């Protein structure tokens, strides 16, 4: 199967893939909710069991040190983040456990996941006998005595889900999901196709688009911020930016006209560097797309933004209508 067909699955039908790049941290202890609420940018204290939200972890200077989805359980909090982020995030969080009844555990091993996305993804879940969660909801079901997690995840374009269980259970579920997707004119997709979907969604990725020098409001990910939750690490900087009403640079999608540049390529106006492309790709049916940071003033005045090899035209959404 080629990339063009796989992208079509994700945008018009349903695509299925293995979640090899995500890891999990389990937080237990009586102080876990109060403590984590003071560590991340979103409200943990408002989460009910079976629900979750997206957050940033900041340093005292308000710079982003990682991102995560938090899901509440009756007796624990489950943090989902990139597998490569798990050690650094655990080190950061552990440093701030002082007299708190809180314990962290890397529980990535033994948890295997499947991604499912597309307009027909809900029907695929139903065909394969699974419950359908709402976005931000984490449902747990039993199959032959094994707990299966089904999560409604974020996408501004198409319904998107994750299914997690042990390796043996997932090895049984994956072909059933793939077969159900094929019934709906979809099927398995590659990591490259999922990356194409991310570019079309304009969703930044930590370590690629978001770095430890970036501030929360610069990312345009307002879904990660809660302004009435109380104090947390880095809050003073976040609140100061909010009170001033703006940041100088922001995360932005671009339609690229020219050759495909490499990530890290500078953006220029009149020979002056005004930003940087952090992710780039040639998405079948949608052309060359870039994501990156740029000074807002040049977008607002519709300046000609150039890169070595072409022009970067800002767009609210790179998805063709």
Structural domain boundaries in the chain: 1-247, 248-321
Binding residues for substrate: 162
Tell how strand 15-19 and strand 187-188 pair up: parallel
Of the pLDDT bands very low, low, confident and very high (cuts 50, 70, 90), residue 1 is: low
Whether the pLDDT of residue 245 is over 80: the answer is: no
- pLDDT tens-place string over residues 51-88: 999 999 999 999 999 999 999 999 999 999 999 999 99
Are 15 and 37 spatial neighbours (Cβ–Cβ below 8 Å)? no
Whether the pLDDT of residue 41 is over 80: the answer is: yes
Whether the pLDDT of residue 102 is over 70: the answer is: yes
- pLDDT tens-place string over residues 270-311: 999 999 999 999 999 999 999 999 999 999 999 999 999 999
Average pLDDT, the chain: 95
Distance (Å, whole) CA 27 – CA 24: 10
Average pLDDT over residues 196-200: 98
CATH superfamily assigned to domain 248-321: Aminomethyltransferase beta-barrel domains (2.40.30.110)
Distance (Å, whole) CA 88 – CA 84: 8
Whether the pLDDT of residue 44 is over 90: the answer is: yes
pLDDT of residue 259: 97
Task: Tell me the CA distances in angstroms from 275 to 56, 62, 232, one per residue in order.
Answer: 22, 20, 30
Class of the domain covering 1-247: alpha beta
pLDDT of residue 195: 98
pLDDT of residue 320: 66
Binding residues: 162
Of the pLDDT bands very low, low, confident and very high (cuts 50, 70, 90), residue 131 is: confident
pLDDT of residue 319: 83
Whether the pLDDT of residue 226 is over 80: the answer is: yes
Whether the pLDDT of residue 321 is over 70: the answer is: no
Are 117 and 38 spatial neighbours (Cβ–Cβ below 8 Å)? no
Regarding predicted confidence, which is higher, 243 or 92? 92
pLDDT of residue 81: 98
Q: For residue 272, how many C-alpha atoms fall within 13 Å in the half-sphere facing its CB?
A: 7
Of the pLDDT bands very low, low, confident and very high (cuts 50, 70, 90), residue 119 is: very high
Q: What is the dihedral of CA 306, 310, 315, 320, to 10 degrees?
A: 180
Average pLDDT over residues 202-217: 96
* Three-state SS letters, the chain: CCHHHHHHHHHHCCEEEEECCEEEEEEECCCHHHHHHCCECCCCCCCCCCEEEEEEEECCCCCEEEEEEEEECCCCEEEEEEHHHHHHHHHHHHCCCCCCCCEEEECCCCCEEEEEECCCHHHHHHHCCCCCCCECEEEEEEECCEEEEEEECCCCCCCEEEEEECHHHHHHHHHHHHHHHHHCCCEECCHHHHHHHHHHHCCCCECCCECCCCCHHHHCCHHHCCCCCCCCCCHHHHHHHHHHCCCCEEEEEEEEEECCCCCCCEEEECCEEEEEEEEEEEECCCEEEEEEEEEHHHHHCCCCCEECCEEEEEECCCCCC
In degrees, rounded to 5, the angle at the alpha carbon of residue 62 between the alpha carbons of residues 157 and 245 is 70
Whether the pLDDT of residue 115 is over 70: the answer is: yes
């Amino acid at each position: 199967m080629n990339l063009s067909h796989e992208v079509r699955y994700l945008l018009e039908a349903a695509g299925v893939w293995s979640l090899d790049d995500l890891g999990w941290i389990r937080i237990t202890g009586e102080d876990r909710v109060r403590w984590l609420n003071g560590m991340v940018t979103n409200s943990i204290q408002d989460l009910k069991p079976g629900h979750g939200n997206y957050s940033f972890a900041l340093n005292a200077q308000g710079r982003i040190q990682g991102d995560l989805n938090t899901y509440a359980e009756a007796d624990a909090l489950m943090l989902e983040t990139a597998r490569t982020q798990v050690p650094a995030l655990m080190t950061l969080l552990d440093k701030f456990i002082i007299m708190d009844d809180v314990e962290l555990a890397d529980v990535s091993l033994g948890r295997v996941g499947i991604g499912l996305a597309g307009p027909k993804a809900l029907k695929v879940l139903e065909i394969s006998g699974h419950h359908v969660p709402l976005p931000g909801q984490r449902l747990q079901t039993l199959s032959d005595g094994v707990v299966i997690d089904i999560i409604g995840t974020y996408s501004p374009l198409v319904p998107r889900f994750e299914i997690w269980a042990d390796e043996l259970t997932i090895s049984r579920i994956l072909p059933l999901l793939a077969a159900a997707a094929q019934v709906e004119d979809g099927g398995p997709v590659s990591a490259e196709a999922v990356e194409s979907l991310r570019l079309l969604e304009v969703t930044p990725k930590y370590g690629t688009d978001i770095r430890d020098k970036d501030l929360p409001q610069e990312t345009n990910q307002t879904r990660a911020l809660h302004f009435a939750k109380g104090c947390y690490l880095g809050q003073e900087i976040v609140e100061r930016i909010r009170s001033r009403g703006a940041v100088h640079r922001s995360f932005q999608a671009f339609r690229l006209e020219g050759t495909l540049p490499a990530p890290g390529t500078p953006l220029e106006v009149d020979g002056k560097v005004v930003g940087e492309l952090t992710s780039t790709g040639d998405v079948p049916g949608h052309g060359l797309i870039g994501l990156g940071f740029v000074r807002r003033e040049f977008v607002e005045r519709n300046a000609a933004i150039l890169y070595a090899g072409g022009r970067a035209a800002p767009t609210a959404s790179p998805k063709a209508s």
